[in-house]
Chain A
């Protein structure tokens, strides 16, 4: 980063050699690149500036400032630098320089689905523990991720190390928790309070997403694959039962509440049959309707499901 009075700070073009495009985000492309000085492989996330005459996109700013706080944790992707450069049209672009990770949880699950294999239970346990640990770290620093999904969980398949990435929708939360936009989060992992229009929400939205990811690791299929907000709610209600004031006080006062078809709750084992009893207990605590009753990430780490896991290197 440019320092006052500093001479030549290398631009992204001078400092890195792009190797290949590995993805595309909301604000630009992601490249695998080599740092010329060290030969180290990094991920370059390119962000266009002055796109709508508003300078650096707020999502990029939020991601950078949050990662400046969180990047010390082994389960949050490390932001190494921020570089400025110019594209072919001479427009200013910003490059976020991240440590490079080989794959993500979405690809990891897909590889098992394609070969017809199941993800080993101890691997699921290890990945879930790391996810809970990373989320607990974010929450402990007052950061909600708001967009947890397999695609945003980077992995090293050799070491089975998992890291939380893509904090473009994350935000620091304050007390009391104020009105937040509910136009966030990929539908399949979206908590029911968000779908029902709650604008006051907190860490529990991330825990719901973690629960959905847990089930998906076991079954290799999305737990609630809705294609609209209504369909998403109906998927949830079919499995967990249609909520009411008894199980979730205040639900009928939420903005998007209507009279929904009445379903009785099913046992979670019908949706996730191969998960053991302790796993089902943890999952049920992550998928509680009432947000305040949902287990915290910190408490989840202490759950008996993780008792037989060797946590020394996690």
Chain B
């Protein structure tokens, strides 16, 4: 297996909870300042991938009406939006029946992107789709931008326009690690042991990847296998609890 210990993933993309808070705060703060200055935060991404903030347009009238302006999002609200789109990413993945690796990679790209930017600066829907497209390329499961766009009724040009900014924000560190395969095997074993093959309880790998114990940060401040261990043990403890409840009912 490609060596996690010496990878850019381990060297550059694992943070302490404190570092993560600082990064989220910095991105949020920057977006708020742009909102103050320009009255809008959404960045324009040109066809060639170049970026521009909205033009400042602060007239006296604007200043007077400042309190009627769009209110910026708080860090907590941003996190909620991110989690929403992380779950949306799962829907895209299910629609296209991509391998788990695509989902895991796209998700890590999405999380990393929003370490650098605020959701007020780049539309999460667009970034989420671009992350899926990038993950397909890097994991050698290539789907055309047009096909991806059609499959979810979106303009594929938007995916292509955002591609470079995603790569640049990820600093081109595109080889990522997610222990989806070993966990899948483990989950199968757990299901059989705990509830038998015909049981209604199903552990969803997607849930594990997206939610975990701390949905926003798990894959950014823990090594992949630790994340999975924590998540799986949580799920298993819930399953065991459910098993006991079922026995009590019987």
Contacts and interface: CB of A to CB of B under 8 A. Distances in A.
A244 B248 CA distance: 64
Contacts of A68: 8, 171-175
Contacts of B133: 55
B172 A140 contact: no
A110 interface: no
Interface string B220-234: 000000000000000
B74 interface: no
Interface of A: 1-5, 49-50, 53-56, 58, 61-62, 64-66, 68-69, 82, 84, 86, 92, 94, 140-143, 171-175
A66 B172 CA distance: 9
7 contacts: A1-B172, A4-B116, A4-B121, A49-B164, A54-B145, A58-B138, A65-B138
B140 A58 contact: yes
A56 B140 contact: no
Given A55-B133, A84-B50, 16 more contacts: A2-B51, A4-B27, A4-B117, A55-B159, A56-B137, A56-B163, A56-B164, A56-B167, A62-B138, A68-B172, A68-B174, A69-B7, A141-B2, A141-B7, A142-B3, A174-B181
A64 B48 contact: no
Nearest to A5: B30
Given A64-B172, A68-B8, A171 B140 contact: yes
B167 A172 contact: no
Interface centre among A5, A84, A92 (most CB of B within 10 A): A5
Contact of A1 (B144, B171, B174): B171
Nearest to A142: B2
Contacts of B117: 4
A41 to B, nearest CB: 23
B168 interface: yes
A94 B165 CA distance: 13
A61 B167 contact: yes
B142 interface: yes
B154 interface: no
B47 interface: yes
B169 interface: yes
A142 B48 contact: no
B6 interface: yes
Interface in B151-208: 159-160, 163-165, 167-169, 171-175, 181
A133 to B, nearest CB: 15
A55 B160 contact: yes
Contacts of B171: 1, 68
B137 A84 contact: no
A174 B182 CA distance: 12
A141 B173 CA distance: 14
Contacts of A64: 172, 174
B47 A92 contact: yes
A92 B2 contact: no
B173 A65 contact: yes
Contacts of A173: 1-2
B3 A61 contact: no
B175 A66 contact: yes
A53 B172 contact: no
